[in-house]
Amino acid sequence: NELVFATGNEHKVTELNAMIEPILGIRVVGLSAFTGLPEIVEDRDTFAGNAAKKAETIANHLQRPVAADDSGLTVAALNGAPGVHSARYAGERATDAENNAKLLAALADVPAGERQASFVCVLALAVPGKPTDTVRGECTGLIGQVPKGDNGFGYDPLFQLPDYAKTMAELVPEEKNRISHRAKAVKQLIAYLNERYRF
Ligand code: ITT
């Protein structure tokens, strides 16, 4: 029993599998297991649009249900940037470290009290011949002045959680997977699947 997620990001696969497999008994599989897949063009300007596009592109090709995760960081002082461009904020092949450095530079003149940010995760489920549905999870925090912590990925070392006095990268995976934007979206996806497909 497997659910394909249209993602090349192994960090997402690990987190999604840790949250989904114990509850539904379904293993999450990323795209690294497949060859000859069509190119996915993430050209929509919303998380929901890109999540649907990723899931539909692969679902249509494989002719089976496929899910996708489109996620990112929105920073209020930057009018929502990096947003849907989070993965490639510092350039086409940017590393997480380069993206984090660009974010710190963009916020250099923004004081601590004005660094509100939000992680967003939209999950889409595409089933061939049916309309695609999406669910959304959000997690609020503040962007720090220096990266802290070695867990997680992406912007986690800069994302401070005031309630925990820690960054997302200082949480152990089990904690991140309880409170993150992705965890909130997964909870809704599981409720949706239980309702629709009665596992
Ligand atoms: P796929 O499109 O193949 O799934 P991607 O990494 O390109 O992989 P996105 O386009 O959804 O995925 O971009 C998500 C980016 O947002 C990701 O690369 C991180 O920089 C950031 N991000 C998303 N979730 C995050 C999380 O839980 N912690 C830290 N950063 C996250």
Angle (CA) 170 176 179, round 5°? 125
CA-proximal residue: ligand 1, atom 7 (nearest): 87
**90-137 pLDDT per residue, tens:** 999 999 999 999 999 999 999 999 999 999 999 999 999 999 999 999
Task: Kindly report, residue by residue over 144-156, the tens digit of the pLDDT.
Answer: 999 999 999 999 9
Instruction: Establish whether residue 56 lines the binding site of ligand 1, counting it when its CB lies within 6 angstroms of any ligand atom.
Output: no
CA trace torsion 10, 11, 17, 18 (10° rounding): 150
Catalytic residues: 70
Q: Is 7 in the pocket of ligand 1 (CB under 6 A)?
A: yes
Q: Which helix (H) or strand (E) holds 17?
A: helix 10-24
Q: Report residue 198's pLDDT band, with 50, 70 and 90 as the boundaries.
A: low
**DSSP at 81:** -
176 lines ligand 1 (CB under 6 A): no
Q: Is 105 helix (H, G, I), strand (E, B) or coil?
A: helix
Q: Which CATH class is domain 2-197?
A: alpha beta
- Tell me the C-alpha distance between 99 and 102, whole Å: 5
Candidate from 71, 156, 181, 186 with most ligand 1 atoms within 8 A of CB, to mutate: 71
Compute the distance from residue 62 Cα to the ligand 1 centre, in Å: 23
Pair of tokens at residue 88: 């490639």
Cβ neighbours of residue 21 closer than 8 Å, sequence gap 6 or more: 27, 28
DSSP 169: G
- Tell me the C-alpha distance between 153 and 155, whole Å: 6
